[in-house]
Structures are given as structure tokens and as C-alpha cells.
């Protein structure tokens, strides 16, 4: 039953994601009161996603330091700069600019492993990039957000770092510890059972957080259309850049595949939580819309990667 539910949720995730956003907007008065649950829901998602990770994934850095460093630099230097440049050209709104940077400054997404596996990428390398990037998040993200926020937005830096540690670092370490101490037995038993609940948790996070930006989404105007269009352009650019950089700087196809998907996908749900918790609601607009395109673009790119490697 749970396996069938997971397959259904995975198959229709591109439809269920925007549907969750719409539900959040329609029922804003009810869901807004559930914001206190979001951090706990997200911590559960992180724990479930890290159950198959091991501490030895960190040792992959010794074998492939260049690939991992390029990945981290791309995720937290190249894309934030690109998002900042495009958004400042198009918008004269500091809150939206912060939102666009935040949408790409978050760590890479665990779901990138699905596409790395499908496209026969280097799985240990992909896991290593995800793990290292996740553990660095409480340091990198606050620094980037402090830079882009400037003096116009008061950022509670210490509180943000603590939240990031609680939501992603501690659950990740707990998931790894469970895997290591049980020698993989517990993850083998419960990972498949937790998978559908993890996806349902994602939809819950989207619904609850969408309720906070409902006033901006109820009125369809040119600004809203432009925000959606630009976030799509930035997401597409992410994949184009990773393909080009991968082809020029990396030689192994499996490494390129891991780089493409870890560089193209993001833990956007985390970005939504951070945006709605530490910034004015408008900052969350670009971040929320990033969820609409992530899985669809990954599916398209997977076909391109598969064709290029054959």
C-alpha cells in the first residue's frame, strides 16, 4: 500500500506541487496557524532523506576534491551571483532580489539522487556533494543572505544558524548514525515506508508556507508573471551552466551527471521555510515558485543527459 502511494506521489509530483501551493493560498486562514509545525516537518524530511548516507561519504572528497569544490562553488557563488544580477536588472524591489538569491543559495536537493541514479551518474560522489553541502549550510547560507540583505533587512543571524542546524544538520547526522549503528538494517526496513510520508511532508510544507504569501498570489499581475518567468529562466540556466562546465572541466561522464543534477536541483523547501520565518512574506515568492519547475526540468534534463552519454 505504502509502495503504491509512493509511486503515485513520485509520478504526479509535478502536478501535486502546484496543487499544494493553490490549496495553501485558498485555505490561508487555516494553514497560517500551522506555521509552528514546519520546522519539525522539515526535520523529519531531512532525517528520512539521509537514512542511506554514511560517514564514509565524506571520504569521497579525498578521491574527487576538484569535482566537489567546483560543485560547492557553483551552488553558492556562481548561481547566487547570476540570480542577483538578473533580478537587479529586472526588478527594483529589494525583497524580491533577496528572494531570488535565496532560491539558489540553499543546499542541493536530496532528490537529485533519484535522477543521478536514473542517468547512471556517480552515486557515491552525488551523496558526498549532498552531505558536505548540507553540513556547510549553517555557515554558507547565513553569510550569503547577510551579504544580499544589507542594512535594509534585519537578519537574525544566530537564530538562522541555529534553525539550519536543527532542520538539516542534526537530522542528517541522526539519519547517518541510525544507518551506521544498525549497519544499514534499519534504513533497509523503514526507508521505503518513510518515502511516501516524506513526500506528503513536502506538500504540507508547501501548503502551510504558501498561506503566508497568499496576498501576493491572489492578484495575478505583471509582476507575478515576471517573477515566475525569471525563476524558470534561472532554473534552466542552472542546468545549462552545469552541462557546459561539466563538459569543459570534467572528463568522466558519471561525474558530469552527478555535477549536473546536484548543481541543478535545490532543497527549495528549506528556502521556503527560511524565507517565511526570517524575512518579509514577499521574499518567499521566488522561492515558492522554484518548486513548480524543479522536477519537470530534471525529467527533461535526464533525457538530454541519457542521450548524450549513449
Which structural domains are found in the chain, ordered by start?
Answer: 19-305 (1.20.1530.20)
- Cell numbers for 40, please give them: 519539525
- Report d(CA 92, CA 80) in Å as an integer: 17
- Cell numbers for 54, please give them: 554514511
Q: Please tell me the predicted confidence (pLDDT) of residue 155.
A: 67
Q: Please tell me the predicted confidence (pLDDT) of residue 104.
A: 93
- Helix, strand or coil, per DSSP, at residue 236: helix
Q: CB of 25 within 8 A of CB of 211? A: yes
The DSSP symbol for 257 reads H
Q: Please tell me the predicted confidence (pLDDT) of residue 151.
A: 64
Q: Please tell me the predicted confidence (pLDDT) of residue 154.
A: 66
- Report d(CA 103, CA 142) in Å as an integer: 13
Q: Please tell me the predicted confidence (pLDDT) of residue 72.
A: 94
Q: Please tell me the predicted confidence (pLDDT) of residue 88.
A: 95
* pLDDT tens series, the chain, 310 aa: 777 887 887 777 778 877 887 888 888 888 888 878 888 888 888 888 888 888 888 788 888 889 999 999 999 999 999 999 999 999 989 999 999 999 999 999 877 877 888 788 888 898 889 889 988 888 888 888 888 887 666 667 778 888 888 888 888 889 889 988 888 888 888 888 888 888 888 888 888 877 777 776 777 788 889 999 999 999 999 999 999 999 888 888 889 999 999 999 888 878 888 888 888 888 888 988 887 787 778 888 888 888 776 6
- Report d(CA 236, CA 227) in Å as an integer: 14
- Report d(CA 156, CA 142) in Å as an integer: 9
Residues contacting residue 82 through CB under 8 Å, at least 6 positions apart: 104, 234, 237, 241
Other Cβ atoms closer than 10 A to 159: 12
Residues contacting residue 171 through CB under 8 Å, at least 6 positions apart: 43, 44, 46, 47, 50
Q: Please tell me the predicted confidence (pLDDT) of residue 4.
A: 83
- Cell numbers for 186, please give them: 534499519
Amino acid at each position: 500500500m505504502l509502495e503504491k502511494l509512493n509511486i503515485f506521489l513520485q509520478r504526479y509530483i509535478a502536478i501535486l506541487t502546484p496543487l499544494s501551493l493553490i490549496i495553501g493560498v485558498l485555505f490561508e486562514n487555516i494553514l497560517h496557524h500551522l506555521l509552528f509545525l514546519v520546522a519539525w516537518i522539515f526535520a523529519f524530511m531531512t532525517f528520512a532523506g539521509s537514512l542511506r548516507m554514511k560517514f564514509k561519504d565524506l571520504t569521497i572528497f579525498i578521491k574527487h576534491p576538484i569535482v566537489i569544490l567546483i560543485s560547492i562553488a557553483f551552488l553558492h557563488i556562481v548561481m547566487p551571483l547570476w540570480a542577483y544580477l538578473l533580478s537587479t536588472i529586472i526588478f527594483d524591489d529589494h525583497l524580491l532580489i533577496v528572494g531570488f538569491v535565496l532560491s539558489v543559495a540553499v543546499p542541493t536537493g536530496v532528490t537529485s539522487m533519484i535522477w543521478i541514479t536514473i542517468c547512471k551518474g556517480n552515486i557515491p560522489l552525488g551523496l558526498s556533494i549532498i552531505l558536505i553541502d548540507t553540513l556547510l549550510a549553517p555557515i554558507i547560507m547565513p553569510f550569503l543572505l547577510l551579504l544580499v540583505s544589507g542594512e535594509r533587512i534585519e537578519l537574525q543571524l544566530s537564530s538562522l544558524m541555529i534553525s539550519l542546524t536543527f532542520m538539516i544538520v542534526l537530522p542528517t547526522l541522526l539519519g547517518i548514525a541510525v544507518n551506521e549503528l544498525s549497519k544499514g538494517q534499519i534504513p533497509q526496513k523503514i526507508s521505503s515506508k518513510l518515502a511516501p510520508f516524506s513526500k506528503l511532508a513536502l506538500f504540507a510544507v508547501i501548503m502551510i508556507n504558501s498561506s503566508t504569501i497568499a496576498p501576493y498570489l491572489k492578484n495575478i499581475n505583471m509582476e507575478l508573471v515576471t517573477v515566475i518567468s525569471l525563476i524558470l529562466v534561472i532554473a534552466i540556466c542552472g542546468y545549462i551552466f552545469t552541462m557546459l562546465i561539466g563538459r569543459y572541466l570534467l572528463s568522466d561522464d558519471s561525474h558530469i551527471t552527478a555535477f549536473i543534477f546536484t548543481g541543478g536541483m535545490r532543497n527549495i523547501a528549506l528556502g521556503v521555510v527560511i524565507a517565511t520565518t526570517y524575512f518579509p512574506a514577499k521574499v518567499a515568492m521566488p522561492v515558492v515558485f522554484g518548486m513548480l519547475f524543479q522536477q519537470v526540468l530534471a525529467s527533461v534534463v535526464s533525457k538530454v543527459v541519457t542521450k548524450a552519454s549513449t
